[in-house]
Amino acid sequence: MKVCLIVEGAYPYVNGGVSSWMQGLMLAMPDVEFVVQSIAASPDANLQFKYQIPSNVSEIQEVYLLDDDYVNNKTQKKVALTGEEYDAFENLMFESNPDWDVIIRFFSEKEVSLNALLSGKDFFKMTLDYYNANFRRVAFSDFLWTMRSLYLPLFTILKSRTEKADLYHSVSSGYAGIWGCMQKSLYKRPFLMTEHGLYTREREEEIIKADWVSGIYKDIWIGQFKKIGECCYQYADKVVSLFEDARRFQIELGCDENKTMVIPNGVNYQKFEGIRQKENQDPYINVGAVLRVTPIKDVKTMISAFALAKNKEPRLKLWIMGSMEEAEDYAEECRAMVRDMDIKDVEFTGIIDVKEYIGRMDFLILTSIIEGQPLSILEGFAARKPYIATNVGNCKGLIEGERDNYGPAGYVVPVMGVSEIARAILKLAEDEKTRKRMGQAGYQRAVKAYDESAVFGTYYNLYQKLTGSGEV
C-alpha cells in the first residue's frame, strides 16, 4: 500500500505536535510505503530535518506557496478561460459553491503560468466587476493586489506536482487538504483527512487579529478559508477529528455527519517508564512547559503568571522546554521579559529530549490560545505529572476526563488568565499529595484511552478499509 501523507508547515522541519504524530504513524506501519508531501511558505536553506526519516518513506515532496514564476514576474503565454472555467473561478473568488472539478482540471490539463493567470484579462475583469459592486470606497489597485495575494498560494498548490497512490491522507484541511482533494479528483483514489486542529476557525481567529489584513478585506480572507474547508469536506471519504466537540464543529461547518469519526491522539506511555526523576536534594518546585516558543502558546502569559506565583512561593522554578527557532523575535521578547521583570529561576532549554527532563518536573503547564488535543499533555500524563492548561481545544477533556472516573489530572484555567494561572500554580506547589493523586489520574487516563498502539492500529484498519472495499 502506498499512502501520500500531506502536511502544511510542519514535518519534517518542525518539532513536536503534528510532526511527532506523523513520525509515530509512519513508524507504526512498516509495511506501508509513505510519500510525504510537505507544504512550506518559501524555500529556506537554513531549514533542516528534525527527524530521522523512517525507512518506509520513499520520498519527501516539497511545494512552496510563493510561486517562482509569479514572484519573479516571468513573461508567460497568456491564459484564456473558457466560459465554464470563468464561472468556476468567479464562484470560487466571489460567490459560493465553486465547481472544484473544473478548477482542478484547468490546472492539471494546462501548462499554467500563475503570473499570466493573475495578471490576465479574465482575472482582472472578474475582480473589477466585484470591486464595482462592493468595494468602490477603496483604491482598486489595492483591491486587485489583495486578490492576487489571496489566491496565489491556493493556485500554487493546484498546479503542484502530484503523486499516484492508493490513498491520500492530509493532516489538516487548508492547503494540505486542497492538495488531497486535487489528487482524489485526478486519480479517483480515496482521500482521508485528519484535522488535528479546527483549521477554519483557527484561520478566522488569526485573520481577525492580524495587522497584515486590512479590516475591509478580513471577510474575504475568512470566506476563502471557509470555501477551502467546504471543498475538503466534500471530497474526503472520511474526516477524522481528535475529540467529540471538534467532530460536532466539522458537522456545523458542513461536513456530512456520516463521514466523521473520532480517533484521538495517542502516547507511547511505556517509553516514559524508568525515566530520570527529581533528585532529593533539588531545592526547587519545578514547573515544566513543553512547547514551541511561539505566540500561539502565549508564553508571555505563562511568564507573567509564574512571576506572580513566585512572589508568594520563592522555591518555584520554570523550565521552558522547546524550540526557540520557529518565532525567533517572539522568543527573544520572552527572554527580554524575564530579564526586564527580573524574574528569577526561569530556564529556556531550547530543544531537548523530553524524557530527560519531564520526570524531574513537579507539574507541567500549557497556556496556549489555540490547541487541538496536545500531545504534550498526554506525554505529561504518561510521566505521571499533573497539568495546568488553558480551556482550549480538548485540554479540559484531557484533564478532567470525559468517559472515566479517574478524577482530575490537574487544573483548567482561562486563556490569558494570569491571576487564575498563578493560583493554580500555587495550589499544586503547596500540595505534594494532590500532585501525586492528579498525576496518577492522568497516567490511568492515558493508558486506558490514549494508547498509541491502539490509535495507530485504528488508522491502519481505516487505511485497509478505504483502499479495499471502500466501505467504512
Are 21 and 195 in contact by the 8 Å Cβ rule? The answer is no
Q: How confident is the model at residue 472 (pLDDT cuts 50, 70, 90)?
A: very low
pLDDT > 90? residue 198: no
Could you report the per-residue pLDDT of 278-313, keeping only the tens digit for each?
998 999 999 999 999 999 999 999 999 999 999 999
Q: How many residues appear in the chain?
A: 472
Q: Is residue 380 part of a domain?
A: yes
Q: How far is CA 84 from CA 102, 119, 151, 182, 431, in A?
A: 8, 20, 19, 18, 68
Q: In terms of domains, do 283 and 222 share one?
A: no
Q: Count how many domains the chain has.
A: 2
CA 227 to chain centre: 19
State what percent of residues in the chain have pLDDT above 70.
Answer: 97
* CATH code where residue 30 lies: 3.40.50
Give yes or no: residues 232 and 332 share one domain.
no
Do 307 and 206 share a domain, yes or no?
no
Please check whether residues 243 and 276 belong to one and the same domain.
no
**CA torsion sign, 229 to 233 to 236 to 240?**
positive
Domain assignment present for residue 471? The answer is: no
Q: What is the pLDDT of residue 110?
A: 86
Q: Is 471 exposed, middle or buried, given 0-12, 13-18 or 19+ CB atoms closer than 10 A? A: exposed
430, part of any domain = yes
**How confident is residue 362, by pLDDT bands cut at 50, 70 and 90?**
very high
Residues 6-20 pLDDT 10s: 999 888 988 888 999
Report if residue 463 sits inside a domain. Answer: no
pLDDT tens by residue, 44-86: 767 788 899 999 999 999 999 876 565 556 556 778 899 999 9
Alpha-carbon distance of 395 to 403, in angstroms, equals 14
Question: pLDDT tens across 93-112, in order?
Answer: 888 789 999 999 999 988 88
Per-residue pLDDT, 68: 59
The answer, yes or no, to whether residue 470 has pLDDT greater than 50, is: no
pLDDT at position 291 is 95
Please say which residue of 215, 233, 262 terminates a domain: 262
% the chain with pLDDT above 90: 78
Identify whether residues 62 and 148 lie together within a single domain: yes
245, 262, 279: which is the final residue of a domain?
Answer: 262
Indicate if 72 and 30 belong to the same structural domain: yes
The CATH number for 338's domain is 3.40.50.2000
Q: What are the tens digits of pLDDT across the range 252-272?
A: 989 999 999 999 999 999 999
Kindly indicate the confidence band of residue 203, based on its pLDDT and cuts at 50, 70 and 90: confident
Same domain, 174 and 302: no
The answer to the question of residue 422 being in a domain is yes
Residues 254 and 296 in one domain: no
Same domain, 168 and 279: no
Q: In degrees rounded to 5, what are phi and psi of residue 409?
A: -110, 25
Instruction: Give the mean model confidence (pLDDT) for residues 176-181.
Output: 96
Report the C-alpha gap between 300 and 278 in whole angstroms.
Answer: 26
Predicted TM-score of the model (pTM): 0.90
Q: Quick one: pLDDT at residue 197? A: 80
Q: How far apart are the first and last CA of the chain?
A: 18
Q: Please answer whether residues 220 and 175 qualify as being in contact, where contact means their C-beta atoms are separated by less than 8 angstroms.
A: no
Q: Residue 45 burial by CB count (10 A; 0-12/13-18/19+): exposed, middle or buried?
A: exposed
Q: What is the crossing angle of helices 418-429 and 432-449, to 10°?
A: 100
Same domain for 277 and 251? no
Position 392 in a domain: yes
Please indicate, yes or no, if residue 455 is contained in any of the structural domains: no
Our measurement of the distance from residue 207's CA atom to the centroid of its chain's CA atoms, rounded to an integer in Å, reads 16
Q: What is the pLDDT of residue 161?
A: 87
Helix H, strand E, coil C: the string for the chain is: CEEEEEEECCCCCCCCHHHHHHHHHHHCCCCCEEEEEEEECCCCCCCCCCCCCCCCEEEEEEEECCCHHHHCCCCCCCCCCCHHHHHHHHHHHHCCCCCHHHHHHHHHHCCCCHHHHHCCHHHHHHHHHHHHHHCCCCCHHHHHHHHHHHHHHHHHHHCCCCCCCCEEEECCCHHHHHHHHHHHHHHCCCEEEEECCCHHHHHHHHHHHCCCCCHHHHHHHHHHHHHHHHHHHHHCCEEEECCHHHHHHHHHCCCCHHHEEECCCCECHHHHCCCCCCCCCCCCEEEEEECCCCHHHCHHHHHHHHHHHHCCCCCEEEEEECCCCCCHHHHHHHHHHHHHCCCCCEEEEECCCHHHHHHHCCEEEECCCCCCCCHHHHHHHHCCCCEEEECCCCHHHHHHCCCCCCCCCEEEECCCCHHHHHHHHHHHHCCHHHHHHHHHHHHHHHHHHCEHHHHHHHHHHHHHHHHCCCCC
Q: Is 79 inside a domain boundary?
A: yes
pLDDT reported for residue 444: 97
pLDDT band at 403 (very low <50, low <70, confident <90, very high): confident
Identify whether residues 275 and 193 lie together within a single domain. Answer: no
Full domain range(s) for residue 41: 2-262
User: Residues 323, 240: one domain?
Assistant: no
Given this model, what pLDDT does residue 72 score? Answer: 59
